[in-house]
Amino acid sequence: MLFDISSLDEWRTRAYDNAKLFNEKVKRWHEKRIQNREFKVGEYVLLYNSRLRFFARKLLSKWEGPYIIEEVYRSGAIKINNAAGTNPNVVNGQRIKHYISRTPINVETNIIETITLEEHIKESFWNTPKY
């Protein structure tokens, strides 16, 4: 079976052109979806917990925080600290994302106070008006 060499060269150049067009299309698609994240000192961020993927539960969040940014390095590393200021840590900037509400979690307001049954009865019936 004989092949014409010019037709093989034509198929090869067409394949190279199609591959180049495909790569350009994938690059445009990828660059359009990249989120440009710029972090500033004092912002609240969440840290991605990469160790969680081996023991991932359905309702367990992969993001920890919020943390406060203390320093931003030119290399892309970011120094973060917890809200209490007791756990400084330097992490890669790709492992963090902005914390939307920008308010720290106040542990004191999340405490649930419990009372006994006797206290509840005393509070509810002690202050009722008598007719």
DSSP string, 57-74: -SS--SEEEEEEEEEE-T
64 in any annotated domain: yes
Contact of 52 with 62, CB cutoff 8 Å: yes
18 in any annotated domain: no
How far is 48 from 64, CA to CA, in rounded Å? 6
6 in any annotated domain: no
Domain residue limits at 76 = 44-105
For 54-110, the pLDDT digits (tens) are: 565 666 778 888 999 999 999 889 999 998 888 899 999 889 998 887 555 555 555
- CATH assignment of the domain containing 57: 2.30.30
Structural domains in the chain (count): 1
pTM reported for the whole predicted model: 0.52
